[in-house]
Amino acid sequence: AGPLPLVINTWPFTNATLKAWSEIQTGSYLDALVAGCSECESQQCDGTVGYGGSPDEIGETTLDAMIMDGETHDVGSVGDLRRVKNAIGVARAVMDYTQQTLLVGESAKDFAVEMGFKEESLTTNRSAEIHSSWLQNKCQPNYRQNVSPDPTKSCGPYKPSSKLFTHRDFVKPIHRWNHD
């Protein structure tokens, strides 16, 4: 066994680790989690956390976040959060100010605003460029299948194919700079 306290996180996001470590010296483990993840959100760690990264097909950045208290099994979670930067903060608010577990989409944004979070665009020049390049590359890669026009060659809008003919067997572009 190692000594405590302990902060551990995925990827070499050392500033987030440091922030959580600093917070745990005086705050709670939940405060440390929020501080650490918030640090990554504001620093846009690897472009995989926070605003201005991973635009969807229509160019919008959306955020997912969760916090879990292992002592009580309380959970606060947000999915497809739009136009609010501090996703882990909103997740904490779901845990603290509701008896529910997971809020999503526009309604999650409305909840966040109600709880005092600022509504603002998550798009940056960088995310706009990523989306523009993707459009110029005929929307490749994408995650569609069994639709027409052929999603391996064309952008949408897509319609369902008359029959399901395949599961796309391709290596998804999951790597250090593109992941959940």
Minimum CB distance to another protein smaller for 60 or for 110: 60
Question: Which listed residue (159, 163, 167, 175) binds another protein by CB under 8 A?
Answer: 175
Q: What is the DSSP string of 104-171?
A: EHHHHHHHHHHTTPPP-----HHHHHHHHHHHHTTT-S----SEES-TTT-----EE-SS--------
Query: What is the Cα–Cα distance from 94 to 88, expressed in whole angstroms?
Result: 10
Q: Give the total of residues touching another protein (CB under 8 A).
A: 86
Q: Looking up tokens 């070499």, which residue turns up?
A: 12
Question: Which listed residue (70, 116, 157, 160) binds another protein by CB under 8 A?
Answer: 70
**Rounded to 5°, angle at Cα 10 from 9 and 16:** 50
Binders of another protein among 77-106, rule CB under 8 A? 77-80, 87-88, 91, 101-102, 104-105
Contact status: 123 vs another protein (CB under 8 A): no
Is 37 within 8 Å of 30 (Cβ atoms)?
no
Contact status: 110 vs another protein (CB under 8 A): no
Minimum CB distance to another protein smaller for 55 or for 93: 55
Query: What is the Cα–Cα distance from 52 to 54, expressed in whole angstroms?
Result: 7
Contact status: 155 vs another protein (CB under 8 A): no
Structure tokens belonging to residue 8: 């551990």
Binders of another protein among 37-66, rule CB under 8 A? 37-38, 40-41, 45, 47-51, 53-58, 60-66
Question: Which listed residue (21, 124, 152, 154) binds another protein by CB under 8 A?
Answer: 21
